[in-house]
Chain A
Amino acid sequence: MATVVEQQQEAVTAGRGPTAGSALGAERALLRFLEPHFAGEGFPWTQLWGYVGSLVLTFAAFGLVIHHLLTPTALLGLVLVLAAGQASLQLGVFMHLRESRGPAWQVLPLGLSFAIGVGMIVASLWIMAFKWGVS
């Protein structure tokens, strides 16, 4: 995947023309964020464990729900905790959240995603609330 990024980087470094100025150094650092760095880093143990971990978390939640081991409130709480664990695992291991170099601009889209996600869930709960009145 690196080709296009590299070429763009080259062009940016080459810095032809009046617009290529000091700001481009920072741009270059930002682009490096996109470089794949798995090559030469040995076997991806983190990813493997992350994968196993995500499966364990999924089946734990599924098992809890299927076997009715807890009261509804406790169940809901525990599943939410597992979900939070799952989310951080996905972001940390597979979405390279910890690998930022330079300004951590991914905080912005992450915040946006979080807002949209929470908005969708809260609104859905609100929309569906009438169901308890009906049934």
Chain B
Amino acid sequence: MTPMPHFAVYLIHTLFPPDVRRPTEIGADVMMGVVAIWIFVHMTRHHRWGWLWHEWFTTVDHKKIGVMYLVAALIMLFRGGIDALMMRTNLALPLHPVISAEEYNEVFTTHGVIMIFFMAMPFIFALFNAVIPLMIGARDVAFPRLNAVSFWLFAFGAALFNVAFVVGGSPNAGWTAYPPLTELAYNPGPGLNYYLMALIISGIGTTITGLNFLVTVLRLRAPGMTLMRMPMFVWSALNTSALILFAFPPLTVALLMTLLDRTAGTHFFTMGGGGMPMMYVNLFWLFGHPEVYIVVLPAFGVFSEVFATFSRKRLFGYDSMVLSMTAIMVLAYGTWVHHFFTMGAGPAVNAFFGVSTMLIAIPTGVKIFNWIFTMWGGRVRFTVAMLYAMAFIPTFILGGATGILLATVPADYQLHNSYFLVAHFHTMLIGGTVFGLLAGMYYWWPKMFGYSLRESQGKLAFWLFASGFWVTFGPQYLLGFSGMTRRMDTYPLGLGWHSLNVVSTVGAFIMGAAFLILVYNVLWSMRHGVRDQTGDPWNGRTLEWSLPSPVPEYNFACLPTVGERDAWWGVKEAFRRETGADEDAAPTPQVRAEDIRGLHLPRNTAYPFFLGASFFVFGFGVVFTWWIIAAIGFAGIACTLVYAWFDHDEHLPMPADEVRHHEATLGRLLA
């Protein structure tokens, strides 16, 4: 340790090295500071801190946890989008780059990590939390407190990652973080440790979420809801959880080994020390390929619900949908080598994994046909959710076709790490995942918040977003063919790349504008959005639409009994037959007072928050290898866990009369 007078200098140099003192960083710091102060003043002025703590930070209600995930995901989409625009600006101006090569490395790394781990993942968990228990007729997830633990591990992991560019320096080895780029000798400083710790911490949370939803779907279905009566979105949650359970451990192990290489002097992946960097690549993609299905299967689930609802038909080929989704889940474990064909593992290995990759096209194709046939002959309503779903089909066909090209090993030797690849994976991630998540957001928004998002504004955002997508990524396929490689911060003129890059950047700004309109759409609708009086604004088919919006804390006053697939639609059809009512009429579900019994709700608790906070402190200590801080964080983790272990007071009784009263105010109590 440095003697005392030098300590302050040491601290400043470590926490604020030159690379966090660049104009972009300082600009961002100022902006964040202003926002933070604004939030602080606003919260204090309106005495909202207690509300925030009691209603949100200590909640274990899956619906509120879903809302918190959604807020986090939208904020991260903003940050990741700013990163994207910075990169695209640089690439449009090869003569006057706005950011340096070093900065470009940091920006594409944070962009990739944030979009995948801190935007797509929480967005998915937002939708799972918001509707899965409602769809299967349950009162919460299987382990409500662990659910809060998952959220706070994610939130503090994301916070740790976002601290990097303010304090200490950003990671810069790409979202894949291959060695030797990550070796301490070549990449000193805390940047990469941030990446490692943030992903380890949030990864623990993700693994727990996978476990939680697996148990929830398998064990908490309402009476009569057999597996083959589950809505497709529930199937997607089940398959996604199964993927998470096996995919995240290899990642955690690989990250932990890298961390040990950097902080404890081991040589798992250091070439000079006899380690095997290629083993990292293998482990990373053992996680990485299942991960791409983790982010796309939930979108498939959303589309299945959206197509059925807005075509006013039941999903075409339900059985084959279930089968193909499960087949994708299994096959997803057997294709990871296609991310490193060029490593040189030899023709047998490459041929095997090339073929296994192409096999996935079969179940995926089945699904595409089923979605199209669901619309066929249906009465299609062009809502925002439906527009995203329809825009997904051509996009995904393009992404699938280019994916098959990349799976062809000889072609991949040419296309690997070119802009063709960048265009391909954005086609899948935006056209698949983001379209799906936005469709789900517009579709379930009334259920989550009790009012709808204004359709006209949403449609404007949709058209800009979808067309901006094609303008951005169409030219990138061509750039790939003409030899532009991935992760370039700039390029010389005269290669024929400039005009295509300019077009691509224009497209990116169109998508940025679409995002702003989307945010405006949300803010406008918060004030003026149409209240959802019936709880069923879309004439939906699945159980969540039988509940009032927003859903009461206990979800179902009486747990439903399910007699068929599309359970709520069945109830409505029976009602229409009996009463001869108009074909879009829906009954208000009524419960008999004597059927309502007292319930136990999971009781709020603060320990998940403190567990996350302790992990944050621990992670921060490890990032700077300040072991005293790490020890304090570790002690915090241990204390919280011991506290949680002895805290058996986890039930909040809710007397039957309270439930009856609440149902009566909703007009749903049969006198």
A residues whose Cβ falls under 8 Å from a Cβ of B? 1-8, 10-12, 15-20, 24, 30-31, 34, 39, 113, 116, 119-120, 123-124, 126-131, 134
Contact = CB atoms under 8 A, between A and B. Distances in A.
Given A1-B145, A5-B220, A130-B344, 13 more contacts: A1-B142, A1-B650, A4-B139, A4-B602, A5-B219, A8-B219, A8-B559, A16-B558, A19-B223, A19-B224, A127-B337, A130-B349, A131-B278
B142 A124 contact: no
B597 A19 contact: no
Contacts of A8: 138-139, 219-220, 222, 559
B513 interface: no
A128 B279 contact: yes
Nearest to A19: B224
A107 to B, nearest CB: 15
B354 to A, nearest CB: 13
Interface string B207-222: 0000000010001101
B140 A4 contact: yes
B556 to A, nearest CB: 9
B276 interface: yes
B144 A4 contact: yes
Given A1-B145, A3-B601, A127-B345, A20 B138 contact: no
Contact of B142 (A19, A34, A129): A34
Interface residues of B, number: 44
Contacts of A129: 345
A24 B224 CA distance: 10
A7 B599 contact: yes
A12 B223 contact: yes
B402 interface: no
Interface string B579-598: 00000000000000001010
Given A3-B600, A8-B220, A19 B562 contact: yes
A30 B601 CA distance: 22
Nearest to B143: A1
11 contacts: A1-B142, A1-B650, A8-B139, A10-B597, A19-B224, A20-B224, A20-B561, A113-B246, A120-B333, A128-B345, A130-B346
B346 A4 contact: no
Interface string B553-589: 0000011011100000000000000000000000000
B363 interface: no
B142 A5 contact: yes
B286 interface: yes
